[in-house]
Amino acid sequence: MSSSVPSRMNSVSHALWPNFFITGTVKGGTTSLYRHLRGHPEVFLPAFKEPHYFARIQPKPEQRHLIEHISEEHAYLHLYENAGDFPAIGDASTSNLWYPEAPARIHDVAPDARIIILLRDPVSRAHSHYLMDFREGLVDLPFSVELLQGDFAQSEKGWGVSRLYVDLGLYHDQVQRYLQIFGEDQVLVLQFDDLVNAPEQTLKRVAAHLHIDPAPFQEMDVDQVHNGFKAPRGNWSRRCASSPLARWIGYHLMPRKLQWWLYQNLILKAASKPQIDPAARQYLEQIYAPDIEKLETLLGQKMPALRSSW
């Protein structure tokens, strides 16, 4: 598989590519940042939050219905047909952070792109990722050392191939790739806790990074949490969430806002987040501790929020 996007600017001279990318991590606050930015008058983000175009994801046949994605250039560029008047044009595919080839592919078509990376305490991230998969009927086993070890040991990995509960929290290499390809000036690394606990200050940093006016954020409800924890209403809701027919109807026949509302209000319910199994926590902390130290050395700063649940 090539690590570059073949001569797109020659084949589509009028192509309008994004000029900024929210690259992840999964369950790291990207949905909240995406929704805040969509409300900014200088920002264009398509309703299709995660097209996964540059990651070139290849779900297994039995999981293709679970992950909507775009593989064709013309379909991807179609998302941005109406973006010409916006100074900031974005893509919020979280897969772009984990897939090693994605940064170079992005750079091939948008070498001046601004990159935003959101990181979260990797233990909490893995648990929230699991809870999302459980409520969507994608996993039935408890969050345990055995589950994590089995997934981590898989030889084939990727979106729609494995769960990546452990892998996605190994941030050092993921961040390093973007720094090496785009340089420090074009990469903004944020922490989930900053977006939750100091949203106004964090969004000012985002505005400065994207060269947009920070003032519109002051008129938004930036304290609102998007895609926070909810529990399934029952096994019927988990079966519905993972049903190929339900997914097809949601992806092809419903406006995205309606699809999201139905999922949040009919399929899910408010509930307290379950506690992490202590053995699973210990297993993850042992894996992540040295990687966080490497990341802190790479970035030249301590990141205590990445251990906030330890």
Domain CATH code at residue 290: 3.40.50.300
231 within domain boundaries: no
pTM of the model: 0.84
Question: According to the model, what pLDDT value does residue 255 have?
Answer: 78
Question: According to the model, what pLDDT value does residue 278 have?
Answer: 97
156 within domain boundaries: no
152 within domain boundaries: no
Which residues in the chain land under pLDDT 70?
Answer: 1-14, 224-228, 232, 236-253, 260, 262-263, 266, 269, 271
119 within domain boundaries: yes
261 within domain boundaries: no
10 within domain boundaries: no
Question: According to the model, what pLDDT value does residue 31 have?
Answer: 93
CB-based contacts of 75, cutoff 8 Å, min separation 6: none
Question: According to the model, what pLDDT value does residue 222 have?
Answer: 81
Helix (H/G/I), strand (E/B), else coil: 161: coil
**Tally of domains in the chain:** 1
158 within domain boundaries: no
Q: How far apart are the first and last CA of the chain?
A: 39
176 within domain boundaries: yes
Question: According to the model, what pLDDT value does residue 225 have?
Answer: 62
Question: According to the model, what pLDDT value does residue 64 have?
Answer: 80
Question: According to the model, what pLDDT value does residue 260 have?
Answer: 67
Domain that holds residue 70: 20-136+166-226+286-307
Strands (E), the chain: 20-22, 43-44, 88-91, 114-119, 187-191, 231-232, 268-269
Question: According to the model, what pLDDT value does residue 10 have?
Answer: 40
Question: According to the model, what pLDDT value does residue 8 have?
Answer: 40
